Chain A
């Protein structure tokens, strides 16, 4: 993701969603005061290991089940003879206990970092956490300073035990210049609902910081305007969470007697922890770009398979629609998007990019074909312009499934659909043999109105309910109704309750909205007069 940042705004990657503002507290690495060699090194090491074990056990007692699990891993490491024995052997030869311990742990840390699995790489933080805990015991250091409640904790990286020592009951957040979304600390942050941004690069000093973890944004010494916007956002987030609690999830929605499906837009498995996710009828759009934004480049087939399975398992009986990589245009991904395009929004992006890059596309299709065994998976392609592109993608998908099956793995073709965001596709919708259509209202509006929605000078022209846009929406909705194909609309237009009702009036019966908007939209549909006609 973009590392070049404006003065006080730094962008990283979301490891745990949410928002926070508070005083910035920087945590540095533990100091290493050194130790005199020669006196009872074996005993000193034994005592330090015991002290570390006692400390971890005490911490587990108030860490909650998830935290206790991670600390249990560190306790097991302390009890691992193959790991500890070399340090004791050195200590017996009068090597200072701290140096001996550090060497043994650093060997394991190097081993973790060299492992091809990002999961094992992320465990190096647990090992260095344990290394520091024992070193502190050896040096008789006092634990690191107290973090006031509500603080934004800034560090290079943050070990799980340090996370658990902080009181998060009054909010706060975490910004790490390195860190990983796969670390135990990231899992804890998601469990405790603490917003966390990782891989920001250098974080300058500041008195206060604002965290918009959903966007991966850290704002240092935020302006008055930024704070005001934050407060307003906070109000609507609280309202949305409350609304979600008050919506009865069991009654299905209808509009003029026809069932309405209200689905969720998600960035990844993390979004499913939102309270509104429980009242959604399924996933209408899972973007897969976030999977590709990590520092390790494109995720391998296994990592993608794991992420897709997590979403399908959550969805259970409900459908989950996953969109293949939509890189390019305004979402450039290093090493994947075309460089130097004069007009990238109309360039090699979405399915156009995937068709040119089988090295990226095929592993994704293979992972999706295997995941299709585990739930009601639907897959759609972004930026489809002509039927030939759609058929080319279908052919590749069949090849991917056949290849998996030839290797003895279970795989099958999911339902294949397409995003309708290019006007040419909307105008000739009956030429496409897709199982379902999902209208991408943001891009469709931008293309129909010839208007960059990010450009304030022309934003008055950007209107998803402009009759020209609506004519195309109706065309797709009518075709879906006539041919028995499901049509949904995803995009910001559906996230505004008034707009959502207008879209139902135009014939749509499926909407996919962001988690924060879902409860309000659901309530608006339930309470509108047309919902009562059964």
Chain B
């Protein structure tokens, strides 16, 4: 999943992403491709501080009953909503 965002994950997309993640019961984690640590997608603080450079690839992992629905929803959000340079 390519992230088209100038300096990475900003406060607003972080809020959107963590809010959406919280709607699912699965545990959801994400990271920038190749990064050492997985980040809890439901924590706005952790998602915001994630360093995701422009055009970086984001990896998502979910475990739980609604895992595939969660991945689908978050992938759509990242693809549609984060194509934007503004803070």
- Contact residues of A with B, CB < 8 Å? 69-70, 72-73, 76-77, 79-83, 108, 111-112, 115-117, 119-120, 123, 126-127, 184, 187, 302-303, 305-306, 309-310, 313, 409
Which of B4-12, B30-38, B58-66, B67-75 binds A?
B4-12
Q: Is the CB of B54 within 8 A of A117?
A: no
Q: Is the CB of B85 within 8 A of A306?
A: yes
Q: Is the CB of B11 within 8 A of A123?
A: yes
Question: Given A82-B43, A313-B85, is A123 in contact with B8 using a C-beta cutoff of 8 Å?
Answer: no
Q: How far is the CB of A58 from chain B (nearest CB, A)?
A: 19
Identify B11's interface contact among A70, A79, A83, CB under 8 A.
Answer: A70
CA distance A82 to B48 in the complex (A): 13
Q: Is the CB of A76 within 8 A of B54?
A: no
Q: Is the CB of B12 within 8 A of A73?
A: yes
Q: How far is the CB of A474 from chain B (nearest CB, A)?
A: 41
Decide yes or no whether B3 CB sits under 8 A from chain A. Answer: no
Question: Given A73-B15, A76-B19, A409-B55, is A83 in contact with B43 using a C-beta cutoff of 8 Å?
Answer: yes
CA distance A81 to B46 in the complex (A): 11
Q: Is the CB of B7 within 8 A of A302?
A: yes
Q: Is the CB of B87 within 8 A of A302?
A: no
Q: Is the CB of A82 within 8 A of B11?
A: no
Identify B44's interface contact among A73, A112, A115, CB under 8 A.
Answer: A73
Question: Given A81-B42, A82-B43, A409-B55, is A309 in contact with B11 using a C-beta cutoff of 8 Å?
Answer: no
| Minimal Cβ-Cβ distance residue in A for B12 | A69
CA distance A523 to B6 in the complex (A): 38
Number of A-B residue pairs having CB atoms within 8 Å of each other in the complex:
76
The residues of A that contact B10 with a CB separation of less than 8 Å are 119
> By CB atoms of chain A within 10 A, which of B7, B14, B18, B40 has the most?
B7
Q: Is the CB of B49 within 8 A of A115?
A: yes
CA distance A81 to B54 in the complex (A): 28
Q: Is the CB of A80 within 8 A of B11?
A: no
The residues of A that contact B87 with a CB separation of less than 8 Å are 119, 187
Question: Given A76-B44, A82-B40, is A302 in contact with B53 using a C-beta cutoff of 8 Å?
Answer: yes
The residues of B that contact A309 with a CB separation of less than 8 Å are 6, 85
The residues of B that contact A115 with a CB separation of less than 8 Å are 49, 51
Q: Is the CB of B46 within 8 A of A82?
A: yes
> By CB atoms of chain A within 10 A, which of B11, B19, B43, B49 has the most?
B11
Question: Given A80-B18, A82-B43, A115-B49, is A302 in contact with B12 using a C-beta cutoff of 8 Å?
Answer: no
Q: How far is the CB of B47 from chain A (nearest CB, A)?
A: 9
> By CB atoms of chain A within 10 A, which of B18, B44, B46, B51 has the most?
B44
| Minimal Cβ-Cβ distance residue in B for A186 | B87
Decide yes or no whether B45 CB sits under 8 A from chain A. Answer: yes
Q: Is the CB of B7 within 8 A of A83?
A: no
Q: Is the CB of B55 within 8 A of A77?
A: no
The residues of A that contact B19 with a CB separation of less than 8 Å are 76
| Minimal Cβ-Cβ distance residue in A for B5 | A306
CA distance A194 to B87 in the complex (A): 18
Q: Is the CB of A77 within 8 A of B44?
A: yes
CA distance A79 to B18 in the complex (A): 10
Identify B15's interface contact among A76, A127, A305, A409, CB under 8 A.
Answer: A76
Question: Given A82-B43, A120-B49, is A303 in contact with B7 using a C-beta cutoff of 8 Å?
Answer: yes
Question: Given A82-B43, A309-B85, is A112 in contact with B49 using a C-beta cutoff of 8 Å?
Answer: yes
Q: How far is the CB of A414 from chain B (nearest CB, A)?
A: 18
Q: How far is the CB of A314 from chain B (nearest CB, A)?
A: 10
Identify B8's interface contact among A69, A108, A117, A313, CB under 8 A.
Answer: A117
The residues of A that contact B22 with a CB separation of less than 8 Å are 79
Identify A77's interface contact among B6, B8, B45, CB under 8 A.
Answer: B45
CA distance A258 to B78 in the complex (A): 48
Q: Is the CB of A119 within 8 A of B7?
A: yes
CA distance A316 to B52 in the complex (A): 26
| Minimal Cβ-Cβ distance residue in B for A111 | B49
Identify A108's interface contact among B6, B18, B45, CB under 8 A.
Answer: B45
CA distance A83 to B42 in the complex (A): 11
Q: How far is the CB of A297 from chain B (nearest CB, A)?
A: 17
CA distance A187 to B22 in the complex (A): 28
Identify A305's interface contact among B6, B18, B44, B45, CB under 8 A.
Answer: B6
The residues of A that contact B15 with a CB separation of less than 8 Å are 72-73, 76
CA distance A111 to B8 in the complex (A): 17
The residues of A that contact B7 with a CB separation of less than 8 Å are 117, 119, 302-303, 306
| Minimal Cβ-Cβ distance residue in B for A310 | B85
Q: Is the CB of A81 within 8 A of B43?
A: yes
Q: How far is the CB of A310 from chain B (nearest CB, A)?
A: 6
**Supplied contacts A82-B43, A82-B45, A184-B11, 10 more A-B pairs, CB within 8 Å:** A73-B48, A76-B18, A76-B19, A79-B22, A82-B46, A116-B51, A119-B8, A119-B10, A119-B87, A306-B54
The residues of A that contact B43 with a CB separation of less than 8 Å are 80-83
The residues of B that contact A127 with a CB separation of less than 8 Å are 45
The residues of A that contact B48 with a CB separation of less than 8 Å are 73, 120, 123
Q: How far is the CB of A504 from chain B (nearest CB, A)?
A: 36
CA distance A69 to B49 in the complex (A): 17
CA distance A115 to B15 in the complex (A): 19
* Sampled A-B contacts (14; CB under 8 Å): A72-B15, A73-B11, A73-B15, A76-B19, A79-B22, A81-B43, A82-B42, A119-B10, A119-B87, A120-B49, A184-B11, A187-B87, A306-B6, A306-B7
| Minimal Cβ-Cβ distance residue in A for B39 | A82
CA distance A305 to B44 in the complex (A): 26
> By CB atoms of chain B within 10 A, which of A76, A81, A82, A115 has the most?
A76
CA distance A77 to B19 in the complex (A): 11
CA distance A360 to B40 in the complex (A): 37
CA distance A116 to B50 in the complex (A): 10
